Structure 1
Amino acid sequence: MTLPIDAALPDLIAALKSHGRAVLQAPPGAGKTTRVPLALMQAGTNAGKIIMLEPRRIAARAAAERLAEQLGEKTGQSVGYLMRGDSKSGSKIEVVTEGILTRMLQSDPELTGIGTVIFDEFHERSLNADLGLALTWEIIQALRDDLHLVVMSATLDAAPVAAMLDDAPIITSQGRAYPVDIQHLDCPVDKSVRFETAAADLVAQAVKSTTGGVLVFLPGEGEIRRIEAALTGRLPGDIDIRPLFGAMPFDKQRAAIAPVKTGRKVVLSTSIAETSLTIEDIRVVVDCGRARRSRYDPSSGMSRLVTERVTKAEATQRTGRAGRVAEGTCFRMWTKGEEGSMAAFPPAEIEAADLAGLALELAVWGSSDLPFLTPPPEGTLAEARALLTQLGALDHAGLITPHGSDIAKMPVHPRLAHMMVVAGKQAAPLAALLADRDPLMGVSTDLTLRMRAIQNGDPRANRGALDRIRAEAKRLAKNASDKPTLSWAEMAALAYPDRIGLRRKGDAPRFILSGGKGAIMPDGDALAGQRLIIATDLDGNPREAKVRQAIAISDSELRGLFADQIEWMDVCEWSKRDRRVLTRKQERFGALVLDDRNNGDADPHDIAVAMLDGVRDLGLRLSGAAARFRARVELVRDGSDRLPAMDDESLMQTIDQWLLPHLDGVRNAEDWKKFDPLNALRGMLDWEQLQLLDRSAPAHFETPLGRKLPIDYDGDLPQITVRVQEMFGVTQHPMIGNTPIRFTLLSPGQKPVQVTADIPGFWVNSYPDVRKDMRAQYPKHPWPDDPTTADPTLRAKPRQK
């Protein structure tokens, strides 16, 4: 049978012969997965074995079987496959899952015996695919310029990939194997209608109006199970409903894609069916428009699954499933108008995933400067390296340790690998459980219930999940050694040292985690009253994560595991609630305070440093002499840098420099209220600056009687308050530089009688009227006709004898 890809194969072969690399863009159903490896093998474009990467295990095995079938062979002869827990070696072609390629590259950077590497379905942009491509391209540039490389995809934007590969040729295959009729909803789904109800209605409609097998795309196993139940009794009796998701046993996955002997089938699938996997008999696709993705939050150090709208690229890929073997129909659970707001492509996994595994692989490789199509986010990568350092996989220089090398050999997340290396075979069941779906979903949070279910069974448990976990545990145990016996809690703590939780005070079951984040346990849960827990599964909420799975740990177990990380610390900190510095001795493990005692011998310097936070909380509150000093400085500065800035913002930014040395004995809000910061502010100026300040903006004005009065610089002019009689004899107005002083002249009764910046003018113009009034009110005080010639005084007239 001729496929659309066949027309592009000569150009692909020519590109590899001339450039050694190519990007192949071919629509769904074009036949690239089943044609390209065989075409390259038969053309002999390069000596050596052909390795083809598939993103999913079921697709890898199905592709290998289809390739072998076309050669009239069984897998294990010319064509083989390699994946976790299952392999059949092939002499000429091997289909491998992405993690396998990473291990091959790390163990043999020259890829000895390999002639061509093909990345299939690269549009999925998995983390392992991005890493594998970056490593392969670096090998080609540094070690193996004879190694051929092909990147294939149906919906990928090919230009960036080609540019990364030094302008690799782009080969395009036109057309789909068979046309697909796309049908949209007439109006958006009513928001009051449950997703499962709307999806089941659309599936029933699709079955009723079409013939052939139906493939339904759903976000996850939960939706698959609920819609399976919703469809029971609604479909004709000859309809066989078959779930398909990644966590299913492989034999049941094969059954889902196998053709039915009679009647029709409805396959309820996750995005696993978006790949090169061909499902027999499918003529109809129902795309419910949702996809589930893992999102990593660096601030919480946790990942969570989120359900999002599909992108245009994903919708195109799903639609193509209906045209693989015949003309088909695609029902989309959205309107044509809604399509305009859909994103073009899904985010690359490297942009949103936990990067602990990637960081470990980069450390093993010995370089993080790889040619990634999408560079890993620096913040997330830093969080990953911090975790690896805590696990002992990296040293403080970021280099791989011997323990890290051992961890990297384990086929599980670095957390679980660390646990397996330290605890040995006994940790295999726990590692398998923590790497899989919860077999007791919704049944308490207690991890011990899950471990007992693995050992002894539990009628509430998902049997398929238990079987899968037990099989994985056996496989992991083969790679581990015997070690001293540890409890389940101790093993969980090894994997999650940053998620050991200490219960907060109060009625609600809230915990502070050793990594610094908060978590809350469901009310009434069996573990809600425990002092210490390890949270092995959290919902990822960055504010306060909900604990979905945990296990209690004792103080003695915690101290036995992490004795070298538990230490006593002197703590001085400002308490906003108490409005004072608290001095404590605390025994800490990470962010956990295991013991807390008063400390009467705290270092005065530490107290002063803590009091700085109190000042930031309470505010500066400059008044009196300190306020006048600051005003003088600001007047002299006048935008220059001759003197340091003393506005509120500048003072707060440099508070640790000018105020800290003067805070001895200040420990609370009342002490701060009494504190005079004048000396601290004066300390900001050196001797020359103080001299400049005194010349340019003196602190006092000396009256004709020799009294020194403080000058107020807060207004637009310097200001003095003085009695009229004390200024008798002044014939020139006092100045500071070129600026006149504003005088508030007082009566003998200390009441203002005039405000003036021109005392000679006051004597001439206003004083006669003032004299007339004042003589009547204060007859015992002198009021001369000519104040310019009178002696200044503060006394009343002498009594006449």
Structure 2
Amino acid sequence: MRIARQEDLPVRHVVPELRAALAERGAAVLAAPPGTGKTTLIPLALADSEGRGGRILVLEPRRLAARAAARRMAWMLNEKVGQSVGLTIRGEHRPGSRVQVVTTGVVLQRLQDDPELSDVGTVMLDECHERHLDADTALAFLLDVRATLRPDLRLLAASATADTGPWARLLGDGTGDGTGDGAPVIETEAALHPVEVVWAPPERPLPPPHGMRVDPALLAHVAATVRRALAERDGDVLCFLPGVGEIARVAGQLSGAGVEVLQVHGQAPQSVQDAALSPGDRRRVILATSVAESSLTVPGVRIVIDSGLAREPRTDHARGLGALTTVRASRAAADQRAGRAGREAPGTVYRCWSEAEHDRLPARPRPEIELADLTTFALQIACWGEPDASGLALPDPPPEAALRAARAGLQAIGAVDDDGRATDRGRLLARVGVHPRLARALVDGSADVGARTAAQVVALLSEPPPRAAGDDLTAAWRSLRRGGPPTDAHAARWRDEARRLETALASITPASRDSRDRTPAADRADRDRAAAADRAARGRVAAAGPGARDAHGAADAHGAAEAHGARDAGGLAVHHGRGDDATAGRIVALAFPERVARRRGGGYLMASGTGAELLGEGSALAAAKAEWLAIAVADRPAGAASARIRAGVVIDEEIARLAGEAGWEDEVVWRDGDVRARRVERLGAIELNVRPLKNPDPALVRKAQADGLRAQGLSLLNWTPGAVALRERLAFAHRALGEPWPAMDDASLLEHAEDWIQRDFKKIDVAGALRGLLPWECAARLDEVAPERIEVPSGSKIRVDYSGEQPVLAAKLQELFGWEATPRLAGVPLVVHMLSPAGRPAAVTADLASFWREGYKAVRAELRGRYPKHPWPEDPAQAVATKRTKRP
């Protein structure tokens, strides 16, 4: 294979070494910094040496990078894509005879269908350092294939960083545990020209990003830095921003800068992506997300402006909600971005933060497997036969909690069994090529609304419309069916994906229907869906009239309500086409049954139990004031109690019931200071119907009362003075002697509350309940360890106060004459409060002998004048104790 357009790329010098390593070991790691030619030259060089007819399979993490790599390699061969070099991404397939460039998601699908990869000789995993989940999974599957089915399959991991140790270990022994020799590592010198670093922080500190929010002042600073760089340096500008919204805002602030502004991101039209990778006629500013970090060289770029921000996924596994969050980019990402300025000539990077901040950045980004929703991953490994992933050579293991949550979701839709292994239905859902939830909605929903309609709605769910389209998913669907302008990238992708899904559905539908688990509940659900679909269809046909057609040219009744609908003063269609809502809502509810939501106060309550709020001003769903919604897109900002509804469909209770199986349950709870008993019909956390419950289960009543005690405290009980005193005695015994004397704090007592609770709190014998907690040996010794009363020398039996840390005895001083030593209870000295004849404290001591010797004289001198009728002997230790006054 003749490379017609060769360039003096550094990677050319290691091609012989790389070929030899692959021939000898069958695996290698290529460390090649950006701009060295690894993505384009290496696959062509390996294909040229592949003597057995096997193709080179190149795995790219992004569609943009895959398309660009295929185009560049075809250009180097003076050919078009589809000849020697092919391209396969979702919705696009052009086979190549020698090299096939694919996204990692596509190759995972192929590995499930054809694990031997019989027409492939070498697989190159490009940009493996980015740690995308699909790439990590593909590597694990390929290592498994090589170990069991294809020992001749050659694997090459290509990284733009020097951190090659993990990949060398994995490819060397297939486990990564360091027991093997490791695959050979071939390193290429950087092709970068010098890049000057300019530290350009804002003038004043700005608050860090929170959730998806980026401070507008930072974006204004980024735009100002772009203008500064345009004035100070020559060449095109590549500016890195975290997301589409930030790109649009900065683009607006660059209006009038006298340059061409291109907005490059995953949702950008192909024409814009192609324009960014081609030389421009005038000076350009390319605003891009991280997709531009490590794809092919962007010609003309001499300046990089780095906002220092990136987006990472965050998944709330308990609530089933995912969101992107804005984070500080890592030092590794910053180096990757800076390198884009020096690929063709010396360049400059303006970093919108300080050098001190740079040192505090994380060294590298977190692997996606630690952050993402693992539902698709869990189905992939289940279909592969490794439901817990323990036998796969993954660079990092999946988090256990996230994997459990993913498996539970798959089990709910019948995709895996109790052991996490894929069912026949799960294997079919995996073949659709979308998230398992969406595959389930496509397969099951098509029986109700038709294959084409189900495919259209699922295509809309797989890539929701831009936020400018609003939060009414049905309205967005209608707009897409009308066709949209040719330049609308989202509309074009939607049409392609809808066609692909319809084709995929046709290939699996008969088998999928046969594979459904037939249970009485499933049969009832099917009958309910069929009846609801029939009613909805009759309504749509009546409203549609003849001749209505959709964007594919097929007859479609859904647009008729809009065609006949009224328009408001601004000319906008009034939203009252219930047929479209019913259809879209059914698919959304099947995909996200836990997001079916009912109005609650000013917001909604989802079946999952999470609250949800509409976006507010400008929300079409808020204007509809619907009782029920099927929520298609929602996120929960960091620290927020409720989710935000990004897109949804107005539905009714009938469709809501199709999303999951409603059930009645007896509910006996503590509420508003009493036990409330009722029968409740629920759809998840949503109450549908309520009836009074007569004669509730006594066990449930006791549990509710115990819950009430935990919520409101033990003060609900009837604490008589005797019960309080007993609790204090037992608490003292526990402090002094420990186990087996029971603890008497609130938390400890509440642990036992359910055992001795009665219907009426005030009738509970609290003292008896406390005694019931005593082991028999403690009950027998209670009066010895913590006596209720103690007899003093006068013969009086005085109550002991156990409310403090030490027991206290308060008695008139004259009653204690002759008491030489202070008693001890459970080894603890008794604190004696000596009272005057009037009952007022005169002295406190825990050592009576010392008091009689040293303290009594002062007390006697002070009190005997005031109380002359009471005895005040000079030697109280030898005096007779008395309760009486002196005899006259």
C-alpha displacement of 1:659: 2.4
Cα deviations by residue, 1:334-359 (Å, 9 ceiling, x for unpaired)? 45554333332222222222222112
Q: Which residue of 2 aligns with 1:550?
A: 648
Tell me if the contact between 2:837 and 2:867 (Cα under 8 Å) persists in the aligned partners.
no
In structure 1, distance between residues paired with 2:239 and 2:852: 101
Aligned positions of 1:274-423 closer than 5 A: 274-367=293-386, 368-369=389-390, 370-423=392-445
C-alpha displacement of 1:412: 1.4
2:244 to 221, 224, 236: 221
TM-score scaled by structure 2?
A: 0.77
In structure 2, distance between residues paired with 1:336 and 1:753: 72
C-alpha displacement of 1:99: 0.6
C-alpha displacement of 1:29: 0.7
Aligned positions of 1:647-686 closer than 5 A: 647-648=744-745, 652-653=747-748, 655-656=750-751, 658-666=752-760, 671=762, 676-686=765-775
In structure 1, distance between residues paired with 2:317 and 2:135: 22
Letter in 1 for 2:414: G
1:60 aligns with 2:149: no
Q: Which residue of 2 aligns with 1:438?
A: 465
C-alpha displacement of 1:568: 1.8
In structure 2, distance between residues paired with 1:690 and 1:50: 83
C-alpha displacement of 1:158: 1.5
1:480 aligns with 2:574: no
* Identical aligned residues as a percent: 37
Cα deviations by residue, 1:745-782 (Å, 9 ceiling, x for unpaired)? 88998777887889999999899999988997699xxx
C-alpha displacement of 1:416: 1.2
Q: Which residue of 2 aligns with 1:249?
A: 269
1:610 to 700, 704, 717: 704
Tell me if the contact between 2:86 and 2:100 (Cα under 8 Å) persists in the aligned partners.
yes
C-alpha displacement of 1:553: 1.8
Aligned positions of 1:460-471 closer than 5 A: 463-471=488-496
Structure 2 portions without partners, runs of 5+: 1-6, 174-181, 207-214, 514-529, 534-581
In structure 1, distance between residues paired with 2:863 and 2:310: 92
Tell me if the contact between 1:587 and 1:595 (Cα under 8 Å) persists in the aligned partners.
yes
In structure 1, distance between residues paired with 2:852 and 2:339: 101
C-alpha displacement of 1:654: 6.0
- Residue 33 of structure 2 aligns to a residue whose secondary structure is coil
Q: Which residue of 2 aligns with 1:258?
A: 278
Aligned positions of 1:147-226 closer than 5 A: 147-155=153-161, 157-165=163-171, 166=173, 167-176=182-191, 178-185=192-199, 188=202, 194-226=217-249
In structure 1, distance between residues paired with 2:813 and 2:700: 53
C-alpha displacement of 1:364: 1.5
Q: Which residue of 2 aligns with 1:429?
A: 456
C-alpha displacement of 1:152: 0.7
Structure 1 stretch 219-228 or stretch 675-684: which is displaced more? 219-228
C-alpha displacement of 1:703: 8.0
Structure 1 portions without partners, runs of 5+: none
1:132 aligns with 2:138: yes
Cα deviations by residue, 1:166-223 (Å, 9 ceiling, x for unpaired)? 42222211121x5143241455355597444444444344445555544333333333
In structure 2, distance between residues paired with 1:373 and 1:549: 36
1:710–1:12 distance in 2 versus 1, CA, 3 Å:
same
Letter in 1 for 2:404: A
C-alpha displacement of 1:625: 3.1
- Residue 479 of structure 1 aligns to a residue whose secondary structure is helix
Cα deviations by residue, 1:623-650 (Å, 9 ceiling, x for unpaired)? 73334434444554556554234141xx
Query: What is the RMSD computed on CA atoms of the aligned residues?
Result: 4.0
Q: Which residue of 2 aligns with 1:11?
A: 17
1:534 aligns with 2:660: no
Cα deviations by residue, 1:408-460 (Å, 9 ceiling, x for unpaired)? 11121222111101112222111111222424x3455222211221223689x
- Residue 478 of structure 1 aligns to a residue whose secondary structure is helix
In structure 1, distance between residues paired with 2:813 and 2:342: 104
C-alpha displacement of 1:31: 0.6
C-alpha displacement of 1:4: 0.7
C-alpha displacement of 1:681: 1.9
Cα deviations by residue, 1:229-261 (Å, 9 ceiling, x for unpaired)? 4434321xxx5443332213334432442334x
2:481 to 436, 455, 463: 455
In structure 1, distance between residues paired with 2:820 and 2:188: 102
Cα deviations by residue, 1:525-544 (Å, 9 ceiling, x for unpaired)? 44333222122222322422
C-alpha displacement of 1:652: 1.2
In structure 1, distance between residues paired with 2:597 and 2:487: 28
C-alpha displacement of 1:25: 0.9
Cα deviations by residue, 1:40-75 (Å, 9 ceiling, x for unpaired)? 233348873321101122322332333344445444
1:170–1:735 distance in 2 versus 1, CA, 3 Å:
closer
Tell me if the contact between 1:13 and 1:45 (Cα under 8 Å) persists in the aligned partners.
no
C-alpha displacement of 1:702: 6.4
Letter in 2 for 1:606: L
Tell me if the contact between 1:189 and 1:334 (Cα under 8 Å) persists in the aligned partners.
no
Q: Which residue of 2 aligns with 1:594?
A: 688
- Residue 357 of structure 1 aligns to a residue whose secondary structure is helix
In structure 2, distance between residues paired with 1:606 and 1:694: 37
- Residue 527 of structure 1 aligns to a residue whose secondary structure is helix
In structure 2, distance between residues paired with 1:638 and 1:438: 66
TM-score scaled by structure 1?
A: 0.84
Q: Which residue of 1 aligns with 2:743?
A: 646
C-alpha displacement of 1:400: 2.4
1:619 aligns with 2:713: yes
In structure 2, distance between residues paired with 1:278 and 1:716: 77
Aligned positions of 1:225-240 closer than 5 A: 225-235=248-258, 239-240=259-260
Structure 1 stretch 742-751 or stretch 110-119: which is displaced more? 742-751
